[in-house]
Structure formats: C-alpha cells, structure tokens
Amino acid sequence: MHTIFITGGAGFIGSALVRLLVQETDWRIVNIDKLTYAGNLESLAEARTHPRHCFARVDICDRPALERLFTEFRPSGVIHLAAETHVDRSILGPAEFIKTNIEGTYVLLEAALDYWRTLDDSARRDFRFHHVSTDEVFGSLGPQGFFTETTAYDPRSPYSASKAASDHLVRAWHHTYGLPILITNCSNNYGPYQFPEKLIPLMILNALADKPLPIYGRGDNVRDWLYVEDHARALKLVFERGQPGATYCIGGHNEKTNLEVVDAICALLDRLRPRADGRSHAHLKTFVADRPGHDKRYAIDASKIRRELGWQPLETFATGLEKTVRWYLDNAQWVEHVQTGEYRQWIEKNYGSRS
C-alpha cells in the first residue's frame, strides 16, 4: 500500500484531493496542515474519519516535525499544496507568503531530499515530489494568447512572486540533486468548500446576505475558471503518470470577465433563491477601487496534459457554477462555522498548539 503526504490537505483544493484519493485509491493519506484561517477539517467530510486518512497538524516550516513524519510514515510521494493563497492578503501583508510559500517549500524539499536519499534504487526512482502551483507565476496576458509550459515567468503580486520562487526551488532540487519532481500550474479554481474571501464564494454569500458585491475596477479582468474536482483529478493523474522533472499546465478553457462571473451567480441565485422583494441580486453589484497591480487576464493552454495524459475537465463553467451555488445554499452550517469563528475555537480546544 502506498503512503502519500498531502500538504495543505485541509484547504480548498487539498481537501478535494484528499476526498478523491480516499475514495478512488487504496493509498494511505497523511494530511499535513498547519490549520491557518484557511484550513478546515470540516472540509474533508467523510474522508476525515476514514481509516486510511491520518491528520498531522504541522507547519511546513518545522523541519524536525517533518523529519519525524518522513521517518514514521515512509511515504512514496508528496503532493505539496500548503501555501498562503489570497492575492489581496499578500498585498496587505506579504510576510506570511514569503515564510510559508518560499521558506516552507524549501524546508519541505530538504526534508524530502534527506528521506529520499535513504531509499533503495527502485524506491528512489518511483518517488515523486509534486509541487502544486498557479498560472499567476506567468504574469498577465493581453487580449490574445495563452500560458503554456514554456511561458517565461513574470510574477507581479507578492503571492505570485512567492509561488514563482517556490517553483524555481523545486526545479533546482531536481536539476541539482536529482529529486524526481513534478510541477503543475493551474488556473483559478472554484467549487465547494472555498474560503469566502475568494471571488465566487464571496459573491454568493454577500448576495445571500443582501450585502454589496464588490467588483474591482471595471470588472473586465479575465480569469480562466476550473471546477476544483476537475483539478483534483488532474493532480492525481499527473502524480501517477507525469514525467519526472516535467511541468503541466491545467486549465478549464473557461475564460470569463469578473462581471460575467458575478452576473452568472446573480442569475443562478435569482432562480434558486429568489429575493422576497422580487428584485434581481444583480442590483447589489458595486464597483470599487481596483486591486493594486491587478493582473488583466489569465488563460491556460492545457493541450499538453490532454495530449500526454488524456485529462480534460468534466464540468463546463455553467454546470460547475450551478453545483457550486447549490452547495453554498445547502451547506449553511459550514459557512456559518467559517464566518463566526466557531470552527477556530473548536480547533484551539481540540488541537491547541500541538503539532
């Protein structure tokens, strides 16, 4: 039986990956997560108590704790998702981004390399260190063109710069020390269990609470949206079948302006949860000051992963968005726990600062 480390497995994408792997493989999953404000064990649903899921509350900057985990569990691979991820937070306070995304990735690489060197030849060949990254490392596109695996790095926000730095470290550990790595660069994700500071859940929950829907600038920035479960399937495929040392771009070919996204959410809510006063939720749209350095457009050319590994998304933007809106309507308790801090209090009571 394989044992796999997933870092950041209590976050939005990590928890989708843990739920998928518990369901579709016989692997033992060691979920390594510090449980920052963005980590939530409730997002794991049934996977949380599954006998093949094991949770370790560990900071990826804590080398001795990581070494203990490698020695105890002897994994055959790592899928690394733990990160600080919200661009607006990175603008207000970059320090945590530098710490977790750059230093944390470095510490994890060192712990993984030390462990990898203790393996026999065949286990070394089979080991994978899969680093999960973002298309934001490539910077901002004009109206034409797509990011591919060979696009030059040009990060512009503290978040994307910290992710770019971590990508470079991971590649350096491959070229210099031979660690068998994989890197995936994915476009914007959406779906269930996303922390409500990101565009789509924020808009859904603000609309339901009759609060303004804050649209930065003119709302004409473009993102390429991918349903989170499609991303999780892509990660599983790359981890199992990707070429060591290779990069794969992952995206949904769902380019939308922010205004189109907000309008689509309002239309879904008007149908699924009409307002008592009969007005459209769209009347809550409010244009606010733009994000400093706001990247104009992201779009992924995902032909390599489709051609080489046969991956393609199962959801269109319309089907994925409807599933997402329905999920937020049906999971008011998860939302309430996240918003009221009840979950954080539960964590402190049950886990304290224990690692």
In the complex, least distance from residue 276 CB atom to ligand TYD, rounded to whole angstroms: 25
Q: Which does 221 bind (CB under 5 to 8 A by kind): ligand TYD, ligand NAD, none?
A: ligand TYD
In the complex, least distance from residue 238 CB atom to ligand NAD, rounded to whole angstroms: 13
Taking the least distance from each CB to ligand NAD, the nearer of 133 and 221 is: 133
Q: Applying CB under 6 A, does 236 fall inside the site for ligand TYD?
A: no
135 is catalytic: yes
Strand runs labelled E in 192-293: 213-216, 222-224, 226-227, 247-250, 255-257, 285-288
Give the number of other CB atoms < 10 A from CB of residue 225.
Answer: 25
* Residue 233 one-letter amino acid: R
Strand runs labelled E in 33-141: 53-56, 77-80, 128-134
Taking the least distance from each CB to ligand TYD, the nearer of 101 and 188 is: 188
Token pair listed for 324: 């997402």
Taking the least distance from each CB to ligand NAD, the nearer of 91 and 282 is: 91
DSSP of 113-148, one letter per residue? HHHHTTS-HHHHHH-EEEEEEEGGGG----SS--B-
Taking the least distance from each CB to ligand NAD, the nearer of 260 and 270 is: 260
Q: Judged by CB under 6 A, how many residues of this single chain contact ligand TYD? A: 12
Q: Which residues bind ligand NAD (CB under 6 A)?
A: 7-8, 10-14, 33-36, 38-39, 59-61, 81-85, 100, 104, 132-134, 163, 186, 188-189, 195
Q: Applying CB under 6 A, does 53 fall inside the site for ligand TYD?
A: no
Tokens 């999960």 found at:
132
- Taking alpha carbons only, the member of 123, 279, 299, 161 closest to residue 222 is 299
Q: How far apart are CA 296 and CA 146, in angstroms?
A: 13
Q: Which does 216 bind (CB under 5 to 8 A by kind): ligand TYD, ligand NAD, none?
A: ligand TYD
Under a CB-based contact definition with an 8 Å cutoff, are residues 156 and 90 in contact? no
Q: Which does 8 bind (CB under 5 to 8 A by kind): ligand NAD, ligand TYD, none?
A: ligand NAD
Taking the least distance from each CB to ligand TYD, the nearer of 31 and 221 is: 221
Q: How far apart are CA 87 and CA 292, in angstroms?
A: 10
The catalytic residues are 135-136, 159
Which residues of the shown chain bind ligand TYD in the complex (CB under 6 A)?
87, 188, 198-199, 202, 214-216, 221, 223, 258, 291
